[in-house]
């Protein structure tokens, strides 16, 4: 393998929700090293010492924990980057606030880190403190002053990563243009692409934001994260739709994972493959290897499960194997051999059901990857049972059969977890449409109504 064209290859624990445990972070550092990644940013949104109580100094056990993470990272040639997110409450014009911010960064520098991160994302887009409004003419001018002050206070050679308040878009907006011109060009700046969770990262957009920032951009890629509005999805599909030549205008990529630690490794392994050799990267091949490595003996069953959990900002395709199975079933039922159609879809459903049962048993036995996925496994199992019922339908299903499908559909939706993308949902909607579903059904419903009268 040739040397990676990306200088920065890593992960940011930057999601909303329960942060990872200390043991999981140590495990992730080892995982990154095995996959030739080189950066780990510590920035969980719900860690109070990073966001809500950012002014409080690290003391005692907190310093010991950080020191262990820093030492483990050094042993693995990983750059460990402690981050702070002060933007919700910081007064940019306050000398004491600026001093508290700098001192907290310096306390981690004394532990041996070579980089820190100042994250100003997900805060109001305007100055809120009256004293700041009196001193600065805009949020970005206040932030430029604070960012440069922090950087100047850091030891010589120490890196500073910054996430701006406007961190996605076309890349030529006024805020990000002013920030790029105003802060020291040696500071690394994050950008998530056209969207918060960008379906694609292309070369043109990378060139635009790099020109605007006056430095190569570092992408903060919000995948496989599934927080906020995505909590019903489990993002275990492969990394894709990232330009093979992205390194021409980018320092690198840091991926924001899920709170589901083991599940995140599936996508992170494919991200590592892309970053290590983007020209040779093949998403599906990389994904298959990742599942083999991480799911172990359950790999084949997990692949069946994961193929039906591809829904994410990266994936335009939902449950491709189920889509093909339904296409074949309905075509053969209506225009070919209904018996063969039923047998083939029934066998497909049996494969899903077998995988679901074995994976649920492994979860019950304590397999950590599958324990994390337990809620989605229940939806997977229920969906597989529903597909089995569909395979047994005639071309003109009875009212009772359709009512049963409606009940199953409601049960699937009530789980609150997304499986099979839109494929199963839309199929069930089509099958249970009143009257106009099939002419035969309309006749039966009309006959039933007359008999009741």
Query: Which residues are catalytically annotated?
Result: 122
Helix (H, G, I), strand (E, B) or coil at 35: coil
Q: What are the structure tokens assigned to 397, written together?
A: 């299903």
Taking each helix axis as running N to C, give the angle between helix 95-109 and helix 139-153, from 0 to 180 degrees, rounded to the nearest 10: 40
* Burial readout 410-443 (b: 16 or more C-beta within 10 A, e: otherwise): eebeebebbbbbebbbebbeebbeeeebbeebee
Instruction: Find out whether the peptide bond into 8 is cis, omega within 30 degrees of 0.
Output: no
Say which residues have a Cβ less than 8 Å from residue 339's Cβ, sequence separation at least 6: none
Cα distance between the two ends of the chain: 77
Identify whether the C-beta of residue 200 lies closer than 8 Å to the C-beta of residue 242: yes
Identify whether the C-beta of residue 209 lies closer than 8 Å to the C-beta of residue 217: yes
Q: What are the structure tokens assigned to 323, written together?
A: 């889509």
Nearest to 342 by CA among 326, 323, 321: 326
Helix (H, G, I), strand (E, B) or coil at 223: coil
Torsion of CA 138, 141, 147, 148, to 10 degrees: -160
CA 65 – CA 57 distance, rounded (Å)? 14
Taking each helix axis as running N to C, give the angle between helix 299-307 and helix 374-391, from 0 to 180 degrees, rounded to the nearest 10: 70
CA 230 – CA 263 distance, rounded (Å)? 15
Say which residues have a Cβ less than 8 Å from residue 204's Cβ, sequence separation at least 6: none
CA 191 – CA 254 distance, rounded (Å)? 10
């Amino acid at each position: 393998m040739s040397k990676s064209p990306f200088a920065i290859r890593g992960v940011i624990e930057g999601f909303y929700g329960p942060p990872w445990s200390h043991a999981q972070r140590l495990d992730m550092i080892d995982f990154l090293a095995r996959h030739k990644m080189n950066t780990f940013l510590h920035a969980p949104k719900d860690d109070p010492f990073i966001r809500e109580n950012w002014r409080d100094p690290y003391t005692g056990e907190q310093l010991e924990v950080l020191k262990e993470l820093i030492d483990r990272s050094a042993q693995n040639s990983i750059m460990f980057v402690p981050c702070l997110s002060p933007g919700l409450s910081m007064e940019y014009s306050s000398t004491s606030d600026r001093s508290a911010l700098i001192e907290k960064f310096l306390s981690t520098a004394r532990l041996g880190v070579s980089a820190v991160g100042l994250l100003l994302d997900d805060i109001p887009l305007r100055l809120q403190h009256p004293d700041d409004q009196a001193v600065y003419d805009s949020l970005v001018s206040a932030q430029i002053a604070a960012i440069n002050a922090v950087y100047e206070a850091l030891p010589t050679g120490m890196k500073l990563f910054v996430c701006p308040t406007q961190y996605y878009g076309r890349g030529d907006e006024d805020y990000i243009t002013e920030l790029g011109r105003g802060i020291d060009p040696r500071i690394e700046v994050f950008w998530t692409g056209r969207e918060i969770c960008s379906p694609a990262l292309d070369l043109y957009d990378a060139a635009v934001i790099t020109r605007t920032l006056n430095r190569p951009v570092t992408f903060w890629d919000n995948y496989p994260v599934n927080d906020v509005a995505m909590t019903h999805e489990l993002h275990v599909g492969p990394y894709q739709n990232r330009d093979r030549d992205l390194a021409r205008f980018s320092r690198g990529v840091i991926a924001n994972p899920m709170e589901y630690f083991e599940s995140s490794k599936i996508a992170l392994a494919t991200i590592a493959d892309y970053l290590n050799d983007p020209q040779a990267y093949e998403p599906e091949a990389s994904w298959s290897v990742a599942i083999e490595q991480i799911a172990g003996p359950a790999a084949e069953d997990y692949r069946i499960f994961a193929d039906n959990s591809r829904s994410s900002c990266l994936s335009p395709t939902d449950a491709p194997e189920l889509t093909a199975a339904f296409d074949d079933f309905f075509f053969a039922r209506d225009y070919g051999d209904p018996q063969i159609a039923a047998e083939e879809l029934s066998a497909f459903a049996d494969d899903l059901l077998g995988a679901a049962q074995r994976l649920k048993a492994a979860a019950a036995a304590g397999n950590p990857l599958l324990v994390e996925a337990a809620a989605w496994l229940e939806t997977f199992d229920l969906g597989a049972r529903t597909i089995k019922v569909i395979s047994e339908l005639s071309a003109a299903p009875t009212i009772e059969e359709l009512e049963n499908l409606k009940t199953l559909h409601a049960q699937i939706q009530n789980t609150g977890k997304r499986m099979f993308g839109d494929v199963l949902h839309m199929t069930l909607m089509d099958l249970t449409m009143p009257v106009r579903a099939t002419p035969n059904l309309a006749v039966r419903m009309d006959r039933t109504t007359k008999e009741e009268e």
